[in-house]
Amino acid sequence: MSDIITIRELRLRTVIGIGAEERRDRQDLVVHLVLYTDCAKAGASDDIADAVNYRTVTKQVIELVEGSEYYLVEKLATEIAKLCLAHNRVERVRVTVEKPQALRFAETVGVTIERSAADVT
């Protein structure tokens, strides 16, 4: 059984891209996370020790993204997935990273990946 924790529209700024302008200026990104976990124990105990602390996960994602300078959105999404999977209660994760102003005629462009612990070891 897998339950889901969602973190939507985490708005961050970082250096990302391959163009000179992208490397010079920080850009807005939007990150969406879906954490697959088993909430049964936490639901029964009402104890944070039995749950995924999504506040901690979010703080770590913010630190990672805002401190990074990757060229590819795919690389950033992979690193976010690894970070989330380092939490022992997270079984699988879906990460979407969007660049809202990357394409002139599109509202946003993004990459979505899904990984499990077996994928990142």
Give the model's pLDDT for residue 121: 65
Provide the 8-state DSSP code for 61.
Answer: H
- Asked about 82 being catalytic, the answer comes back as no
114: which strand partners? 94
The string of pLDDT tens digits covering residues 79-119 is: 999 999 999 899 999 999 999 988 889 999 999 999 998 88
CATH fold, domain 3-120, is: GTP Cyclohydrolase I, domain 2 (3.30.1130)
- Of 59, 75, 82, 99, catalytic: 99
pTM: 0.94
Q: How far is the C-alpha of 16 from the C-alpha of 44, rounded, in Å?
A: 42
